[in-house]
Chains A and B, each alone.
Chain A
Amino acid sequence: MSTLLNNLDVFTTGFRTTIILFLVSGFFALLIGTVVGAMRVSPIPALRAFGTLYVNIVRNTPLTLVLFFFAFGYPKLGLPEIDFTVSAIVGLSLYTASYVAEVLRSGVNTVPVGQAEAARAIGLPFSQTLTLVVLPQAFRSVLPPLFSVLIALLKNTTVAAGFSVYEAGAIRAYLAERGEPALVVLLWVAFFFVVLVLILAQLQRYFEKKWKVAR
């Protein structure tokens, strides 16, 4: 307990950054993932091809390499400079989006085709058929795997520690300098991750109850 209480500042800063990384990356991953997922079920071949290319390239690249690119490759492109935290957010968002897209695509396939037909029959164009009728139902049917992706994202944020981002994964290194026992520190870090994941699981249960679609 003293390990925690004597170093509360490091724990707070670390986990605050982790939560920020998670929330911001999670938001953009859902946004980009929805767009890419929509592309993958689009009737337009060019959009479908782009969606497939994106998923295949990004999902098949290890997260460390994605972050490597944004931390060390990107600055060499001569584009506006971004700090390590922002580049970690960009990398995590793009990486997680590929998983969100695939989860969502499988959800779209569970929505009966009659739903889209009925939407088209009242005159909704493709985009609104998707956003107003198909995707809301698809989201509901994939809540469990979608939350698995978000939980994976939460834990993946620790990879950013390797790229000079001061988040929960970096706590051990900071406290090693203060001479704290590594094992105890890691157990505390693990404990707080479990707490965060439990909060997410609770959120999942709330949404599952709220959005239960009876057929």
Chain B
Amino acid sequence: MKRYLGYIGPMTTEAPSAPLVSVQGVNKHYGQLHVLKDINLDVRKGEVVVVIGPSGSGKSTLCRAINRLETIESGAIYIDGKKLPEEGKELARLRADVGMVFQSFNLFAHKTILENVTLGPIKVKGVNKATAEKEAMSLLQRVGVEHQAPKLPAQLSGGQQQRVAIARALAMKPKVMLFDEPTSALDPEMINEVLDVMVELAREGMTMIVVTHEMGFARKAADRVVFMADGQIVEQAAPEEFFTNPQSSRAKDFLSKLLTH
């Protein structure tokens, strides 16, 4: 059995290409709290990485740092070989390549579902309106909410809103998708409709970094599970490995608490 502890690259025979996302020696504090401690993480193209861990472990902060919604104090983050720049035009351009799905959906409340999806392509990429709408409709169809296109976000259920949020992110044709606890704000019966879309996306080869508490999703779709606790990456392994044979005591403790219910 091959462990990923101290992960160095893909397990293929080809020469490892540069990672699509590379987090190198990243540190961040919230006041006294050291929320990210010297984080190193490489994600290959097409890889699905699921980040799990107890609340307050820094996993959401890490996810948000990757498109600089959170600033970092030291270290560096690279997207497709390019270092995340400071705030400004260049950062906006790089962000367009990184799709983000939030826990609270954050659909633009004053715009229709269709406008939510077309806003980025039209304003950021300069796609003409007709083309953007055509592409948006096919994305909405893909996530199963095409009939809601003329409605406002508040008229949709949470599960529908989150699927629209995924379509909105996909409309920018991102290189990588970040999911920050995408199902945590959903009623239980709506979780699966969102996870199904994500599993489908993973199968199609999208590079994904997913912060979640859904262990079923991790088992089904992840190439690698990253376990964080107290601002550190404690352990990483293939999902089957991690769930059946965790190495660290923190991970064993965490999993035992999950699985007893």
Which A positions have Cβ atoms within 8 angstroms of B?
43, 112, 114-115, 117-126, 128, 132-133, 136-137, 140, 211, 213-215
Contact = CB atoms under 8 A, between A and B. Distances in A.
Contact of B96 (A112, A122, A126, A213): A122
B108 A118 contact: yes
15 contacts: A115-B109, A117-B106, A118-B102, A118-B108, A119-B108, A121-B69, A122-B96, A122-B168, A123-B97, A123-B124, A123-B172, A125-B88, A213-B109, A214-B154, A215-B109
B169 to A, nearest CB: 7
A104 to B, nearest CB: 15
B107 A125 contact: no
B95 A120 contact: yes
Nearest to A118: B106
Nearest to A119: B108
A214 B155 contact: yes
Interface of B: 67, 69, 87-89, 92-93, 95-100, 102, 104, 106-110, 119-120, 123-124, 152, 154-155, 165, 168-169, 172
A122 B106 contact: no
Contact of A137 (B89, B92, B110, B124): B110
B60 to A, nearest CB: 12
Given A115-B108, A118-B107, A214-B154, 11 more contacts: A117-B69, A118-B102, A119-B108, A120-B69, A121-B95, A122-B120, A124-B124, A125-B88, A125-B89, A136-B110, A213-B110
A128 B168 CA distance: 17
B180 to A, nearest CB: 10
Given A122-B96, A123-B96, A114 B106 contact: yes
A140 B109 CA distance: 11
Contacts of B67: 121
A118 B92 CA distance: 12
A124 B100 contact: no
Contacts of A133: 108
A43 B172 contact: no
A133 B154 CA distance: 16
B104 A114 contact: yes
B100 A121 contact: yes
Smallest CB-CB A-B distances: 9 pairs: A123-B96, A214-B154, A122-B120, A118-B106, A114-B106, A121-B100, A123-B124, A125-B92, A123-B95
